[in-house]
Amino acid sequence: MDKIATSLTKNTKEPAKTSSVRIVVAGPRGKMGSEAIQMINNQKEFTLVGCVDHKESVDTDKDVPVFTDLHACLQSTKPDVFIDLTIPEVGYKHTRIALELGVRPVVGTTGFTDEQLKEITNIAEKNGIGCIIAPNFALGAVLMMKFSKIAAKYYSDVEIIEKHHDQKVDAPSGTAIKTSELIRENLAAKPHPSVKETESIEGARGGNDNGVHIHSMRLPGLVAHQEVVFGGEGETLTIKHDSIHRSSFMQGIKLSIEKVLNLQTCVYGLENIIDIDH
């Protein structure tokens, strides 16, 4: 760890001040990043102190510095929370840097591997720093996952259809992978095809996540949508969620900023920071 890292890591075990939470955003020109900046600027308890981008000129509505290097940004702006809304390779690298410098990450970027999540959790715990990574910050999406997990107890056959805008790079979505994981924890029996299947067009049956087929649709006009379809004797059950605007993710980001200040580990999934059982 270099001098910058050492100086910023000094107070890592102290909870961050909650009076005005100092925030840095990576990906400020992006669809999610620009929405997050608008949300931050509308909260009197949050202060945007910097951005990280490829470009140095970003219109943030506030006079904040824009950096192309995260180390320099964190050293100069000394934020409490770092928000990443970029792409998987960058998001992973940024999250590690923030944790090593004692800044709490709130990560919306999707596409991290299980191994990357484990490494991030190890660094967070070693340094006693909170981190929240959520593949979906929309409350309705969290409920859709929860209801799917409950329904899985009563079925053994299920498929997931996720639909996103055509600029999304990773497939299937982080939400679909998480939903499949939750469903498989509860599924009444291991799913199995009732006939020997063939595909005349490769991929026609979607991706197979340990028996749960996931179909990914990418089209302009879409935002983020998912259907979980259970099949039983003479019936289907569909649990469906639609994010029709990116503002649907902002309450989850706001809550994560508040919660991450008092965590000393990495929490994966919005469902683990909200009480949805009652």
Q: Which residues are near ligand NAP by CB under 6 A?
A: 26-27, 29-33, 52-54, 85-87, 90, 108-110, 134-137, 167-168, 224, 249
Query: Cis peptide before 79, with omega less than 30 degrees from 0?
Result: no
Residues 74, 246, 151, 232: is their CA dihedral positive or negative?
negative
Spacing of C-alpha 221 from chain mean position: 21
Name the residue nearer to ligand NAP (CB basis): 157 or 225: 225
Where do the DSSP E strands lie in the chain?
21-26, 46-52, 66-67, 81-84, 104-107, 131-133, 157-164, 207-209, 212-218, 224-232, 235-243, 266-268
CB of 169 to ligand NAP, least distance (A): 7
CB of 74 to ligand NAP, least distance (A): 13
Name the residue nearer to ligand NAP (CB basis): 46 or 249: 249
CB of 85 to ligand NAP, least distance (A): 4
Known active-site residue 164: yes
Within 10 A of 98 (CB to CB), how many other CB atoms are there? 31
Name the residue nearer to ligand NAP (CB basis): 26 or 37: 26
Name the residue nearer to ligand NAP (CB basis): 104 or 187: 104
Query: Catalytic pick from 94, 149, 163, 164?
Result: 164
DSSP annotation of 17:
P
Known active-site residue 168: yes
Active site residues: 164, 168
